[in-house]
Amino acid sequence: MQKGIVDRFRSLPMSNIAVLNGHVVSDLFRNAISTLVMLTAGLAIGFRSHASFTSWLEIAGLLMLFTFAFSWLAAIVGVFAKSVEAVQWLTFVLVFPLTFASGAFVPPESMPHYLRIFAVNQPITHVIVAIRNLMLGLPTGDHVRFAVLWSVAILIVAMPLAAMQYRRKTSN
């Protein structure tokens, strides 16, 4: 937005939100490659999954859906922020509490009551627990359903908000 490339795109015969779409799709591919690298490293150091082929498809689908949803949230931050540093800071402020107050590192049942309430009712916990249980061949309970619902809810809010803000910012 700062280096004039968006102004150049605006002069071309293309949709005015194609830039956002391209950014989100490139995020999806970049994160897929990062995930494959981490998975390969985990397998190389000894992690062995008990997931079936169907479970691996569910894992891939969940990761892609959640990454897609969070990429749209990042697009909102990118449109609102005034600099690259602001985007990094705002993204950190969003992701840090969600990650560390989730079931990523410790089971929510071991957390204090007030933190447990937050941890079990936020998207990252559901995504992580669903993927962890799918990889280990354990029952997932409602975590897959809640992970999908959270991702779809984020998309329903983030996509139009990002597009609206982007249109507003580029029309000025």
pLDDT digits (tens, 9 = 90+) for 112-159: 999 999 999 999 999 999 999 999 999 999 999 999 999 999 999 999
Number of H helices, E strands in the chain: 7, 0
pLDDT digits (tens, 9 = 90+) for 91-105: 888 889 889 999 999
Q: How far apart are CA 130 and CA 59, in angstroms?
A: 8
Give the global pTM.
Answer: 0.86
H or E segment and range at residue 93: helix 84-100
pLDDT of residue 78: 86
Residue 49: CB atoms within 10 A of its CB come to 15
pLDDT band at 4 (very low <50, low <70, confident <90, very high): low
Q: How far apart are CA 124 and CA 95, in angstroms?
A: 9
Residue 94 token pair: 């969003």
